[in-house]
Structure 1
Amino acid sequence: MKELVGMCTGCGREVYCLNGFLNGVVDEEKRLWCTACEEKPKGQDG
């Protein structure tokens, strides 16, 4: 099952829930990030 959760804060890509697992992260400010943007070193643009 694939369900759209929202858009990445960094790059604007669609972030999905795949079979019950979020394909990204939500930070402490409740912003949604794709896994590619979340893995970038802090301070780089997404």
Structure 2
Amino acid sequence: MREPVGKCVLCDKEVHCEDGFLNGVIGEDQKLRCFDCEEKEKKNSPTGSS
């Protein structure tokens, strides 16, 4: 089952829950991000690993 749970705060892409698993990330700021934007943020972050 696939259900929409919200939109990414960075790119406005719809984020879904599939079979009980969130297809995105809720950050420390409690905001929802899609996996693509989360990866981009990690790569651009000074503390992110490459």
TM-score, normalization: structure 2? 0.79
Aligned residues: 43
Q: Which runs of 5+ in 1 are unaligned?
A: none
Q: Which runs of 5+ in 2 are unaligned?
A: 46-50
**Structure of greater Rg:** 2
Q: Which has the higher contact order (CA 8 A, sep 6+)?
A: 1
Supply the RMSD in Å over aligned alpha carbons: 1.1
Runs of 4+ more than 3 Å apart: none
Identity of aligned residues (%): 51
TM-score, normalization: structure 1? 0.85
Greater share of helix residues, 1 or 2?
2
